[in-house]
Amino acid sequence: MKKTTAALLAFLMLFSLCACGAAEAPAAPAPVESTPQPMAELRQADASVETGVRMNGLWSEAAARYEAMTGSPVTESAPEDATLLIADAETLLARAGSLAELGESAAYALLNERSYALRDSEGRIIGLPLELQSVAVAVNTELLEKAGYSLDALDGFKALRRFSTSVDNRKDELGFFAWAPMALADGSGLKLTQYLFNMPMYAELQQSGSFTGKYVGDYRDAHFKDLFTVMLDYGTKSGKDCNTVSDAESLEVFARGEALFCLMGSWELEALRNAGFPMEQLAFVPAWMGLEGEQDWGFVTDATLFAAVRAGEPAEEHAAEDFLCWALSDSESQLLLADLYEGMPYEGFLCSNPLLAQNAANDDAGLTAVPRLLRQLEKPEEWDSFFLSSLRTISPDNVVWRWQVTVWDLVDRWNGKK
């Protein structure tokens, strides 16, 4: 994300709170200064004297960016009585009881895809998404054409596996591999552990009809295994050779045109562009596994940052909700927010990230984004290292892929059943 302190401060200091649907349009903003603002102005930006609404999340972002730009530490802490908060899901869910319900707010009605909103354990809407991250299969369309295939023909897991097998059989002739190497090194693998694994999890929870219950691994079809096998066996490296491959190394292989496919996160697009990859040759398809109903699914997509309102005085709640509605609908405000956050799922926002832009197109086409449900597991940060180390032990050699332990057995272990 290309964000600047000056842009954030301009957003806070140059616009007054404006009720959604008010008769008068907000005044046009003054030119944004490019220099960091002094701390006195940061403090002033944190509070609206007229309404008493305090925005601790915005304060935290402004202060952090000020510190990054100037090298001067910020010692002031965010106000405890903030009415408008900007934070991740875990932070907001931990204090869900003190947050207002936003399901009836005008700001919530602006969402293009309401499944991105944050719900608490009782189903209340407590957070409105500000930033999205998606994971999908990146496709080099030029290599796809060289292999004799079209993007339209890539319409599901069977086609993905067939194309991968064909390219692998002809890799010497074609001059490229089917897949960039699987990244299983320490510090990598997030796309596998926290995103890709949501596909079979989502299928299980769809069958049970509940999206808030604890996941126990009862859905035992081998679909994750099937896709993982394709990506591992037909990559530029296979088996235990992938155990030391980082996400950056995998991306570099794809950027050099050495692989047709690559599992990619939206946060990697800037690095791909900087590596010189011709972005006009880039397309994305879902990480299909052959699951029932997946033809109606889009990418695995997660909202990573939310706006929330602290429950309290009705006047303050209303003022904060009005501010959010204005900020998310006013054209000038949208330009500033689009520079701060990627993939904002609201009408009128432009997205320069091609993966997130395709995710938005999927939403418009009626495809269902697969949510990142793993935050419901206990100690999700420990799950990452547990799952990744387990995947390494499942690939013992470079010749034959042997699924010695199923992923579902891993979940059983995690939940203390084995």
Task: Assess contact for 129 and 112: CB atoms under 8 A.
Answer: no
Give CA separation, 141 vs 220, 228, 282, 367, 392, in Å.
34, 22, 6, 22, 31
The three-class DSSP label of residue 90 is helix
Residues of the chain with pLDDT under 50: 1-53, 59, 66, 74-78, 211-216, 218-221, 395-408, 417-418
Chain-centre distance for alpha carbon 356: 9
pLDDT for position 69: 52
The three-class DSSP label of residue 283 is strand
Task: Assess contact for 232 and 182: CB atoms under 8 A.
Answer: yes
Task: Assess contact for 116 and 369: CB atoms under 8 A.
Answer: yes
CA distance 222 to 228: 10
pLDDT for position 361: 93
For residue 52, what are its two tokens?
């008493």
pLDDT for position 241: 82
